[in-house]
Amino acid sequence: MTFNSPKIAESSKPGQFVMVNIGTATTFLRRPFSICKTNKKTFDILYKVVGCGTEELSKKKSGDSLNIIGPLGNGYKFPILEINKTPILVAGGTGVASLLFFAQKIKEKYKSVKPIVFIGAKNKKEVLLKNEYEKLGFKVIVSTEDGSMGKKGLISNLLSSYLEECCLKQVSAIYSCGPKAMLKEISKIAKKNNVDCFVSLEEYMVCGIGTCMGCVTKTIKNLKTCPELVAGLKIKNEGNNYEYKSVCKDGPVFDAKDIIW
């Protein structure tokens, strides 16, 4: 779905999202949607009809107006440009939207860098935006749980096999967006192979600005700013060395090694 909003289009960064007021009595809470791509005056989102909110959104027609807040969140950090190094993008379900915007900007910023894209879905019908990635000139590897497209199985297993066969020194980082269970597995694989990994978390959101604390995730506390260490004291309880961060405000993109899954 395309929205005409020059202000949001011009200021959006890959990985950020918008909060959309669908505008009906049964959908009074805003819904979060990743920004899929932008133009000079417009931006796109990708959505799947899964509830009353997206069902009402699907009924909107060209020319209708919606109240939207955005762009929100921190977004992805661009990979350091290194000769012969390749970023890997791993998308599950509608996570392809967030990473497509990122892929487009990588091509604009680093013309010589060609990410390898992994897309996982339940079946062929749910493999989304594959052609859009291919139009950018990027290699796309697909897996489906039922084997109707690409290799049968989970995308995490396919990524693991790929990393076992490739030269890890050629991988700059892994960027992933999709269901939390998938992100957890991708994080484990990245850690095992000593590859930097950044994940975009998907959580239910209410405010989108970190006020309600309804979308928090458990993270490892930064030891450099730990009060006990700053004061030169021994940490009293190392088992409590964690903190909760808002996915909407502090994320949605996090360094995978900071997440307590």
CA atoms of 180 and 203, how far apart (whole Å): 9
- Determine how many CB atoms are found less than 10 A away from the CB of residue 22: 20
Please state, rounded to an integer, the average pLDDT across all residues of the chain: 88
Q: Are residues 96 and 133 in the same domain?
A: yes
pLDDT per residue over 96-153, tens digit each?
999 999 999 999 888 888 889 999 999 999 999 999 999 999 999 999 999 999 999 9
pLDDT given at position 232: 53
pLDDT given at position 93: 92
Q: Which of 49, 72, 95 is the last residue of a domain?
A: 72
Beta strands in 52-113 (DSSP E): 67-72, 86-92
Specify if 198 maps to a domain: yes
* Pairing of β 116-121 and β 86-92: parallel
Q: Are residues 104 and 22 in the same domain?
A: no
Specify if 165 maps to a domain: yes
Q: What's 76's DSSP letter?
A: P
pLDDT per residue over 34-80, tens digit each?
999 999 899 999 988 888 888 888 889 998 999 999 999 999 988 66
pLDDT given at position 239: 61
pLDDT given at position 38: 94
Return the CATH number at 101.
3.40.50.80
Find the distance separating the first CA and the last CA of the chain, reported in whole Å. 33
Residue 229 pLDDT class (50, 70, 90 cuts) = very low
Q: Are residues 243 and 147 in the same domain?
A: no
Specify the number of domains making up the chain: 3
pLDDT given at position 22: 86
pLDDT per residue over 135-148, tens digit each?
999 999 999 999 99
Q: Are residues 184 and 92 in the same domain?
A: yes
Q: Are residues 184 and 213 in the same domain?
A: no
Return the CATH number at 48.
2.40.30.10
58: domain range? Answer: 2-72
76, 118, 119, 167, 189 from 164: Cα distances, Å: 26, 15, 18, 8, 10
pLDDT given at position 51: 83
Q: Which of 156, 173, 202 is the last residue of a domain?
A: 202
HSE of 228 in the Cβ direction (CA atoms, 13 Å)? 11
